[in-house]
Amino acid sequence: MSKLLLAAACALIDADGRVLLAQRPEGKPMGGLWEFPGGKIADGETPEAALARELREELDVDVTPACLSPIAFASHDSGEFHLLMPLFVCRKWSGRPKPLEAAALAWVRPGELMSYDMPPADRPLAAQLRDLL
């Protein structure tokens, strides 16, 4: 098996039930694709702490671990590494999301999630999220 890569991702859900997607910048692997905000879990970090850090760095929003609910996970082999990534949902945060690292942000209705071009690991997650919301 390729090396395990641990990451964590979060679906922020707004009051209208829309999901926040972030577009990966061109020049990064999978540039241009739409993903859930998040990133790699550092050594010694919990998934929740990694997400709180990443959401602050990427979006300038603050979340508390108590507001993060895990709903699904991706287990996907890219050839180069095997990604293991829990997906959390979060309905309560502080701050207004800004694209500090993403090329763009989009608030997406659950029924439209599958029309966004996403990394392969995300497609089953998006389908589960759509069915859940």
Interface residues toward ligand 8GT, by CB under 6 A: 7, 9, 29-30, 35-36, 38-40, 83, 85, 119, 121-122
Q: How far is the CB of 50 from ligand 8GT (least distance, A)?
A: 8
Unique residue bearing structure tokens 């966004």: 116
What's the helix, strand, coil split of the chain in %, to 5?
25, 35, 40
Nearer to ligand 8GT, 40 or 98 (CB): 40
Q: How far is the CB of 21 from ligand 8GT (least distance, A)?
A: 8
Nearer to ligand 8GT, 45 or 67 (CB): 45
* Secondary structure E strands in 57-103: 69-77, 81-90
Output the residue with the shortest Cβ distance to ligand 8GT: 39
Q: How far is the CB of 128 from ligand 8GT (least distance, A)?
A: 13
Q: How far is the CB of 74 from ligand 8GT (least distance, A)?
A: 7
Q: Which residues of 40-73 are buried (b: 16+ CB within 10 A; e: fewer)?
A: ebeeeeebbebbbbbbeebbebebeeebbeeebb
Nearer to ligand 8GT, 79 or 111 (CB): 79
For CA atoms 85, 11, 41, 50, the dihedral sign is: negative
